[in-house]
Structure 1
């Protein structure tokens, strides 16, 4: 059942309770019965009963009442009798009207008057168009003028739109030029699936000599239906270029389509031609802001000239459209896309502003999805998680120059670890093992670190944090560290899941000028996707200050990762690059991590490759591209 039908049924149910109340209000039954029958007949659509209670031509009155409903595209009328006053020829009834304008949404409330006359000893409503509304005159009719607000853009942090032009095609009619409006709507309904009565009501309630949009099509759908649409007399197609096609990152920005019968049901109510609906990404999350609502006017028209005579009521949009302002940066996004394409590997990259947590770029190759994988993916952290162990090592007074063997295989607390690539078999300092990502050496430190301390350190870097973004994200998860084996696995990242977004924020915390972890920010305005007055902005987690000694140590270790470790491929011109790599198995796929930063831009890269330096190479191209663009 449509929203309009539901409202009509509701009105009929209310009437059942209202009619008896009307009949018991006054001592003068004859005048009251005439008023009651007229209003009840008008409210229920029994126009014959209403007409019999007037002194006008019954056929003309029936037609006028029916036309009022049609020209207002009204879902229902409801009336409340306020009183009958005066005597003789001056008798008059006052009533309050509430008109549900149906598809046009507002409730129109006004006060009306019913002049009463005695005709052959019976009270009658003295008929004229002003009975319908005090300002409606002979030779006039109602009409509804609707002006939709255009869809607003999604913007990057520099206020540049994140959409390109896309052409939509609109089927329009000029009602006064149609020879058979019913046939037009019947054929259009067959083609599009929109209800025939809805299309017809739009035509009949509109200003007759003004172009009325009925249905909007995307390019593909229009190409399929073009010949059938051209065959309908009176249909005029117009092409409207609109900024709807998503620019990169397209899956974050999201897609937009014209309203269809299916999407109309998803939106929970009737929409008008020209309306658009976000199908994914930020376009879907912020649909209510981006589209706003319509301006609606109830007017009277001169039947001869078809020109407006009076404005009876005007509703401004009940909420304004608003652009969605993001933290994304189109130039940085372009650099990220280029860096991934240059690698020839399935991969993803997330870049954030270290000092704020603002998401600057989200890029993936076609094998991965920017939201589901780069923001919300659950991947093993591998040796990157050793970052969290540094605070515990410092508390245990472990020296960075301490020598640690890096065997090919090692067992810690019953858990087995394997180092598949260099520097397996060597003995390096803790700093060297960190820089080269030796899993067997780092796992051996598990007995020096308290598991609870490692969990607390991970939390300070945002792992498992309850942040709230308008799109799906994953902050990370680690299993409880109940013994040395579990702690060793955590240091090696085997029992820890993270997303590229969460690891970019970890690097950002180290690179931040104040050594502070910041929760991610993707949208700065509006504060919440829900425009309703009751919507409460979800409070983001507070930034977390990391111990200065821990930050200084991590900066030393991660700088070594680029100067002498496995992340050398990330080096780029300009300020020094810092970062480390890690290799993991995701199912049967070998994956190569890199996380690090240059200046105030922190990144995490995850690439499908058995080469542990593959992620660092992508990061290197990214940083080189940033430097070249400065």
Structure 2
């Protein structure tokens, strides 16, 4: 027995089950049989069997039942008999209908009536369009109107859109003007890859005189297919403007494309022409939040006057809204300008020190703003010595203590080499910190307990469990089991960080409290494991207050880094700039860090350069550009 046959039998039994109860009220059970046979036939698609139980022309009834399914784009009908009444030779049955509108999602439930009378000794349903629905009349048909709310924007911190207008191209039809909808959909399916049956169902279920969008194309795809589209009789083309092109930071905001046949298979659900799909960045992470909301109406249409009557309307089951980010246009502009004005590839992440909010993410073409600036894994060099200050204070090391800065040093078997000035000198601890002398700083590993360094790194968010709607990396470090490992950590050699994690470290020194990063403020919940449904709350770690003595010492050290240390290029008008530089490497590529802040803006810059001050130069241009915009 086929699945369809089994469902038919099950449905028949379900409807027949009411007969014993109802037949007790009447002398003639055959009226129940007529109701059962008609509704079972309608429900299972055996329209001929249903038609035979009416007094109408069988061909007319069969077509009306079949058309109702097509016009509603219905996946299924289900019926439940609620009662029957008899008056003389007339019977009226009450039933409840449940129509699954398939792609359009909602279930349509309504109450109907079946009038029956005796015809040549047999009970028959008195046929009229009102049998299908009490408000359907002669000369009318069902239709379904689905209106998309459109894609919502991604906003900066002030509420301005982070997208620019782009042109989409829409292929549409007017059903009443089509000579052969089947052929049109067959040809369109071959050209676009969209399922032929879904294209056809949209045409059949739409009001006859309206524009029905079938497929939407971006500029490149449209240029490839335009000639093939115009060759299909009945296809019409129009342009549609939508705010889709991302503003800076483009890779964070993300790209959007028109729905493709492949996207429909991946996303599922009622994706329709005119819908859009986020491909990268926040557009992808918040796809379900930004789009997909529709108003759905079941209506009747008078085929002469085209007047519409609403039978049922559904508000969107899932609301859509814009995404409010923490990004700041002026800060982003200053970051972009600072990087493009330099000769070295690089990245810059700026956060608000007092909140952890990400204000700018910028990179040159050699790096990716999400994969590298937020989630990259790089050696921090001596910038990681920020974590060692707490251990220095615990060991009662004075900032004025003289520590030699030789060209080379070995600590418990681990070798280190200082490149450039002030190798061979004996500056103070503060000066060594300000210049990033790796041979001097690593010598402190014998005085600093590895467990203290690990605890300090944790307070500054290294290996913290913070998360973002996009990929991010909080840093990692290997266990510090001996002096050699501790020295390597001070030098940033057995540690990995991202520019974002180091910007948060700078913010912690500036504000006195480490805070997890924030990129999106509304909605405030997301599920980082879901690519398209940011719906579940994720608990962020609590802010961590940094010991006051540690903060005070670091502020002094990092101010000295700009005033007389290797970070002098970061100096800018306005509030004092604090920061340090560090040299590191990514394979064979030399890297130059700057980690610091001005006012409430903390930054981490990573430049691909053998000049250890290259990051500070970018930071200086950034701060000066930001001050010029204020």
Quickly name the TM-score band, shorter chain normalised.
over 0.9
Aligned partner of 2:194 in structure 1 is: 194
Per-residue CA distance 1:331-378 (angstroms, 9 max, x = gap): 211111111111121100000001110000000110110000000001
1:525 maps to what in 2?
Answer: 522
Asked if structure 2 preserves the Cα contact closer than 8 Å seen for 1:299 and 1:311, the reply is: yes
8 Å CA contact 1:52, 1:58 repeated in 2: yes
Give per-residue Cα distances to partners, 1:209-236, cap 9 Å, x unaligned. Answer: 1111111000001111111111222222
Instruction: Give distance in 2, aligned partners of 1:13 and 1:461.
Output: 65
- The equivalent residue for 2:430 is 431
Describe the SS at the equivalent of 1:539: coil
CA contact (8 A) 1:409 1:440 kept: yes
Q: Once the two structures are superposed, what CA deviation does each residue of 1:270-321 show, in whole Å capped at 9, x if it has no partner?
A: 411100011110001111111141101101111211221x211000111222
Q: 1:22 aligns with which of 11, 15, 19?
A: 15
**Does the 8 Å CA contact 1:88/1:118 hold for their aligned counterparts?**
no
- Displacement of 1:84 in angstroms is 2.6
TM superposition shift of 1:19: 2.1
Distance 1:526 1:143, change over 3 A: same
Q: Distance in 2 between matches of 1:24 and 1:200?
A: 37
Structure 1: how far apart are the matches of 2:616 and 2:574?
17
Give yes or no for contact 1:95–1:112 (8 Å, CA) kept in 2. yes
Deviates more, 1:113-122 or 1:279-288: 113-122
- Name the CA shift for 1:108/1:485 in 2 (closer, same or farther; >3 Å): same
Q: Per-residue deviation at 1:12?
A: 7.5
Q: Deviation at 1:180?
A: 2.0
Cα separation, 2, equivalents of 1:201 and 1:24: 34
Instruction: Report how many aligned residue pairs link the two structures.
Output: 619
Comparing 435-444 with 234-243, greater Cα deviation is found at: 234-243
When structure 1 is superposed on structure 2, of 76-85 and 380-389 the one drifting more is: 76-85
- Name the CA shift for 1:21/1:76 in 2 (closer, same or farther; >3 Å): closer
Note the residue ranges of structure 1 that are not aligned, 5 or more in a row: 1-8
Once the 2 structures are TM-superposed, how far is the Cα of residue 21 of structure 1 from its aligned partner? 2.8
User: Following TM superposition, by how much is the alpha carbon of 1:417 offset from its aligned partner in structure 2, in angstroms?
Assistant: 1.1
Pair 1:387–1:266, CA change in 2 (3 A): same
* Aligned match of 2:545: 545
For 1:575, what is the secondary structure of its paired residue?
A: coil
How big is each residue's C-alpha offset from its partner over 1:75-97, in whole Å with a ceiling of 9 and x where there is no partner? Answer: 11111222333244331222111
8 Å contact from structure 1 (residues 41, 48) kept in 2: yes
Change (3 A) 1:12 1:136: farther
Structure 2: runs of 5 or more not aligned: 24-28
TM-score, normalised to structure 2, is 0.96
Tell me the equivalent position of 1:40: 40
Distance, in Å, in 2 between the alignment partners of 1:478 and 1:89 is: 89
User: How many angstroms apart in 2 are the aligned matches of 1:198 and 1:535?
Assistant: 29
Considering only aligned residues, what root-mean-square deviation do their CA atoms show, in Å?
1.7
Query: Is the 8 Å Cα contact of residues 289 and 529 (structure 1) preserved in structure 2?
Result: no
In the alignment, is residue 621 of structure 1 matched against residue 621 of structure 2? Answer: yes
Question: Displacement, 1:105?
Answer: 1.4
Q: Secondary structure at the match of 2:404?
A: strand
| Distance in 1 of aligned mates of 2:128 and 2:495 | 79
In structure 2, relative to structure 1, the CA distance for the partners of 1:15 and 1:252 (3 Å cut) is farther
CA contact (8 A) 2:526 2:538 kept: no
Match of 2:107 in 1: 107
Is the contact made by 1:72 and 1:101 (CA closer than 8 Å) also made in structure 2?
yes
* 1:465 and 2:458 matched: no
Matches within 5 A, 1:140-539: 140-308=140-308, 310-512=309-511, 515-529=512-526, 535-539=535-539
CA deviations on 1:502-536 (whole Å, 9 max, x unpaired) are 00000001111xx1111100000011246999944
- 1:380 is paired with a residue whose SS is coil
Conservation of the 8 A alpha-carbon contact between 2:70 and 2:201: yes
* CA positional deviation for 1:14: 5.2
Instruction: State whether residues 88 and 117 of structure 1, in contact with CA within 8 Å, keep that contact through their aligned partners in structure 2.
Output: no
Specify the SS of the correspondent of 2:141: strand
Q: 1:598 to 1:14 in 2, by over 3 A?
A: farther
Alignment-derived partner of residue 26 in structure 2: none
Report the CA distance shift for 1:15/1:361 in structure 2 as closer, same or farther (over 3 A). farther
- Secondary structure in 1 aligned to 2:427? strand
**Which residue in 2 is equivalent to 1:6?**
none
Match of 1:576 in 2: 576
Q: Is the 8 A contact 1:11 1:78 kept in 2?
A: no
2:251–2:280 contact (8 Å) kept in structure 1? yes
Q: Which moved more, 1:214-223 or 1:109-118?
A: 109-118
Cα separation, partners in 2 of 1:14 and 1:423, compared to 1, 3 Å: farther
Is 2:286–2:534's contact at 8 Å kept on the other side of the alignment? Answer: no
Partner secondary structure for residue 19 of structure 2: coil
Distance 2:427 2:3 in 1: 79
Distance 1:11 1:256, change over 3 A: farther
Kept in 2: contact 1:11–1:76 (CA 8 A) = no
Following superposition, the deviation at residue 23 of structure 1 comes to: 2.0
- Indicate if the aligned counterparts of 2:381 and 2:584 stay in contact, CA closer than 8 A: yes
Aligned to 2:116: 116
For residues 69 and 583 of structure 1, the distance between their equivalents in structure 2, rounded to whole angstroms, comes to: 70
Kept in 1: contact 2:288–2:533 (CA 8 A): no
Residues 16, 544 of structure 1: alpha-carbon distance in 2 compared, 3 angstrom cutoff: farther
CA contact (8 A) 2:7 2:44 kept: no
- Superposed CA offset, 1:572-605 (max 9, x none): 1112111001111111111111100111111001
CA contact (8 A) 1:446 1:488 kept: yes
Aligned counterpart, 1:134: 134
Give the TM-score, by structure 1 length: 0.96
Secondary structure, in 3 states, of the residue corresponding to 1:426? coil
- Relative to structure 1, the CA distance from residue 13 to residue 163 in structure 2 (aligned partners, 3 Å threshold; closer, same or farther) is farther
Q: In the aligned structure 2, how far is the partner of 1:541 from the partner of 1:534?
A: 19
Distance across 2 between alignment mates of 1:534 and 1:553: 41
